[in-house]
Structures are given as structure tokens and as C-alpha cells.
Amino acid sequence: MYDVIVIGSGPGGYVAAIRAAQLGLKTAIIEKYSTLGGTCLNVGCIPSKALLDSSEHYHNAAHTFKTHGINLSNLKVDLKQMIARKDDVVKQNVDGIQFLMKKNKIDVHHGLGSFVDATTVKVSKEDGKSEEIKGKNIIIATGSKPASLPFIKLDKDRIITSTEALKMKEIPKHLIVIGGGVIGMELGSVYGRMGSKVSVVEYMDSLIPSMDKTMGKELQKSLKKLGFEFFLKHKVTAVESKGKEVTVKAENGKGETIEIKGDYVLVSIGRKPYTDGLNAEAAGVKLNDRGQVEVNEHLQTSASNIYAIGDVVKGAMLAHKAEEEGVFVAEVIAGQKPHINYNLIPGVVYTWPEVASVGFTEEQLKEKGVKYKTGKFPFMASGRARASMDTDGLVKVLADSETDEILGVHMIGPRTADMIAEAVVAMEYRASAEDISRMSHAHPTYTEAFKEACLAATENRALHI
């Protein structure tokens, strides 16, 4: 009898298992694939960032090195090597998780986990054999899969999801991206930087629509420079593939239908919770009408000894959100009283410039009727950004008009994915814009732009603009 069985080894599951083991609980983890790490490490966060880094190097070599005084000849992409390096990065990471399981004395069971009852899980292995294991507590961390539209037939050859886009055999001539969200913009950037024409069809009126509107607008400007074309407020009605050609039809809201032809279509309209084969009902675990496992504020399901975390439950589909929930549930099971501040889970888009955000958007503050003030600082005015030729973008700080407390920080620019951590710390400690304005930021760094935006929000007293 285990104290804890975790089903799924993504960032939610493996972190929950480690924390449970740290707390002295006898722990097992079940993973249906042969490698650990889930979507994030195998076909998500890590491989996409590896290709984003490689393609950004190429793009800089082709477009900015000359200005830096570095001349190259015969520059070309070796896609096979680029994908091989990405595979190696993935391997290092998934092997690392294997090591962590061993180090923490967590039993790893490979196979599909399905409930027999609320304390028993059957593990069906690839060779047809199966075993049953028992646990006092069970954590469902089965994650998500790419979503599609009912009329789209994903052939995974020309009409692809993010998983296939991470292992292309050629650089598309014309990649059509359905969905202007995070994954579409990141993977569109990978191939756009290497010469693909990229057309984005998005139903909403802006890119990355869940983020502050300013971010979507600025990102669109930067991606336009990369050669992207955009069809916003367009509803895709048909996707067809014939030989090497794909056709996407979309309605533009005035009843007109446009037709875009390319050689690959990336369907990136979001992800859906994954519970196939889990047999949740045998344990009395309820799903909601969106297919998510229903949980209360303790992430406990309708069966009191079973918890669920990560992409398979409500909330942002992000690796670090899943990790926080993994730690939270392990601590709840151990009798502790942990807390997660969901408002302070940052969101990041790893395009270039990067987009990063935490707290409320301007649109949300307006909707809530909160009186706020805004401070902005463009990277164009940053000495560090000029030195590195990364002047696109800005930092936007939203602070309470009366108390000056920072309510939201939205950044688009160089290395904002890393910079946003300062905003998270500030907001976790309920800092005011003036607090940040009075703290020394090393010069020259991109982080000065955050301080300047806070100065701008305090009394409109940014120094360098």
C-alpha cells in the first residue's frame, strides 16, 4: 500500500511525487510513455524552447550579425542537426527526471493507469501484461492533448499539431497557423525565422488574446517585421490537404470567405484535458462538461482520497502552475496548509521579443471597476536594449490609483521571460510602484525598464524618457 500514487509524470505529476517523497510518504508514479516528463519535457516547453533558441541564432546570424560587424558566408540551416540537438536536450531533461525519481526512492511504473476503485490502479503495460497497485491517496496528473475542430482531419503530415511541428523534416515554404495563441506564435516564429512565410488565422481581434491587449498589438508589429501575415477576426471553416498543398478557408465576419494555400497547416487552437483510459468513474471521480476533472479548493476530486492537478483541471495550462499544484497537493496529503496565489502565476510567450505578464490586465481592471494608473517604458529608450539591438517592446505597469500597489505587469521585450520574476516577487509582497522605483537596478540591464515603468506609474517621473 503506497501513501501516494501519482498518475502521469508531467511537471505536475513528477513534482508532486518528489514533494510527497520529501515529506516521507511512500510514493509511486505511473507513466504510459517510456520516458518521464510529460508534454512539457517531451513535446512542449523544452523542445519548443530548444528550437526557438536555434532558430533565433540563425535569424541573428542572417540579419543582425552584419551590423554587429560579423560577416558570415554560406550561412544555411541544417534542420536535421537542429532537430537532433533538440532531441538531445529533451533526452537530458527526461533522463534527469528518471534520476530524480531514483534519488527520491519513488517507484516508477510504466503503463496506462486506470482506476479499478478509489484505492486501486491497474497498470497496463505495452507487452500486454498488467499489475494492480494500491494507494491511500491518488493524484491524477494526466495532462492534456492538442485540441482541434470537428471538421479538421489532423493527418499529422501536412495538417499538423505542435507535436509534429517539433520534428519537421523540411522547413515549410508557407506555414498556415490556425490560432494566434502562445503555441502558434512560438512555433510560427521558429519557421518564420528560418524563411517560411507564416500566415496566422485567428478568430479573436488580437493575438495572444488572453493577455493584456497592448501585448498582442506589440507582438503583431514585431512578427510583421519577420514577414508574418495576419487574418484576425477570421473563423476557419475548412481545412483540406491534397498532395503537398493545403488549403484553409475562413470567414471574415462580413460573410466573405478567404482561401489561403500553403504547404503545412499548424492547428494550435488550444489543448484539451486528457483522461482517456483512466476509468475515472470507477473511483467515483467526476469530470465537468469541459472534460476537466472537477476539484474543490484543495484540488480534491469528488472522491475524497483522490486529487487532480495541472492541465487536467481548471486554470492556466502552464507547467509552473502544474508544479505549484503538485507541491500543494503533496503538502495537503501530508497534513500541511499550503497556499497558491493563482493571480500571481506568470504567463510567458517565448517569441522574440518575449512577452511576459503577471496579475491583472488593463481590460480586467476596467471590467472590475478598479481605479488604476499606468506607467510605460519602451525598450527603445533602454541603453542595454540599444546595445543588443533589441529595442522592440515596452514594459507596462498597472498600479492602484490610490494605494499605488502594483496590480499587473505586462512586458514585451528582450528576456522579459526572466524579468517577470521580479514583478512576481514585488506583487507577492504587495509592493507599490514607488517601492520598485526606489530600488537600485543594475545598469545597464533590461530590468531598468521595469523600474522606469514603475517610476512612470508613480508620478510620471521616468528618468530616461
Q: Are strands 271-273 and 144-146 parallel, antiparallel or unpaired?
A: antiparallel
Amino acid at the residue 409:
V
Choice between 14 and 372, CB closer to ligand FAD:
14
Q: List phi, psi (to 5°) of 454.
A: -70, -40
As measured in angstroms, the least distance from the Cβ of 464 to ligand FAD is: 31
Closest CB 428 distance from ligand FAD, rounded Å: 18
Q: Establish if 65 lies at the interface with ligand FAD (CB under 6 A).
A: no
319 annotated to a ligand binding site: yes
Tell me which residue has cell 533602454. 382
Q: Is 346 in the site for ligand FAD (CB under 6 A)?
A: no
Cβ nearer to ligand FAD, comparing 9 with 432: 9
Regarding beta strands 406-413 and 394-400, do their DSSP bridges make them parallel or antiparallel, or are they unpaired?
A: antiparallel
We find the least distance from the C-beta atom of residue 11 to ligand FAD, in angstroms, to be 5
From the list 242, 230, 165, 157, the residue with the least C-alpha distance to 200 is 230
> Is 160 annotated as contributing to ligand binding?
no
Q: Is 188 annotated as a binding residue?
A: no
110, 234, 298, 443: which is the annotated catalytic residue? 443
- With binding defined as CB under 6 A, does residue 7 bind ligand FAD? yes
Burial of 45 (0-12, 13-18, 19+ CB in 10 A): buried
- The C-alpha atoms of residue 227 and residue 246 are separated, in whole angstroms, by 20
Q: Is 276 within any annotated ligand binding site?
A: no
Q: How far is CA 239 from CA 93, 167, 189, 246, 457, in A?
A: 36, 22, 22, 7, 46
Q: Which of 6, 25, 30, 453 binds ligand FAD (CB under 6 A)?
A: 30
Residue 113 counted as an annotated binding residue: yes
Whole-number Å distance between alpha carbons of 67 and 110? 52
Closer of 48 and 437 to ligand FAD (Cβ): 48
One-letter amino acid identity for 346?
P
C-alpha–C-alpha distance, residues 278 and 349, integer Å: 31
Applying CB under 6 A, the span of 20-28, 34-42, 406-414, 454-462 interacting with ligand FAD comes to 34-42
Instruction: Give the pairing type, strands 174-178 and 264-267.
Output: parallel
Whose Cβ is closer to ligand FAD: residue 12's or residue 353's? 12
102-121 residues in contact with ligand FAD (CB under 6 A) are 112-113
49 is known to lie in a ligand binding site: yes
Q: Which stretch binds ligand FAD (CB under 6 A): 24-32, 239-247, 336-344, 448-456?
A: 24-32
Cell numbers found for residue 268 = 494550435
Between CA 33 and CA 138 the distance in angstroms is 19
Q: In angstroms, give the least distance from the CB of 116 to ligand FAD.
A: 13
Binding residues for ligand FAD, how many (CB under 6 A)? Answer: 37
By beta-carbon proximity to ligand FAD, the closer residue of 5 and 365 is 5
**Residue 74: what are its φ and ψ, rounded to 5°?**
55, 35
Tell me the three cell numbers of residue 267. 492547428
Q: Write down the least CB distance from residue 104 to ligand FAD, Å.
A: 17
The answer to whether residue 9 forms part of the interface with ligand FAD (CB under 6 A) is yes
Q: Is 31 in the site for ligand FAD (CB under 6 A)?
A: yes
**Grid coordinates 472537477 are at which residue?**
294
Q: Name, in order, each residue with C-beta under 8 angstroms of 168's C-beta and a sequence gap of 6 or more.
A: 79, 83, 191, 264
Residue 464 designated active-site: no
CB 142, min distance to ligand FAD, A? 3
Contact 17, 145 (CB under 8 A): no
Specify binding-site residues.
49, 113, 142-144, 179-186, 202, 270, 311, 317-320
Specify binding-site residues for NAD(+).
179-186, 202, 270
Active site residues: 443
Q: What is the binding site for ligand FAD (CB under 6 A)? A: 7-13, 30-33, 38-40, 44-45, 48, 112-113, 141-144, 162, 183, 274, 277-278, 310-312, 317-320, 322, 350
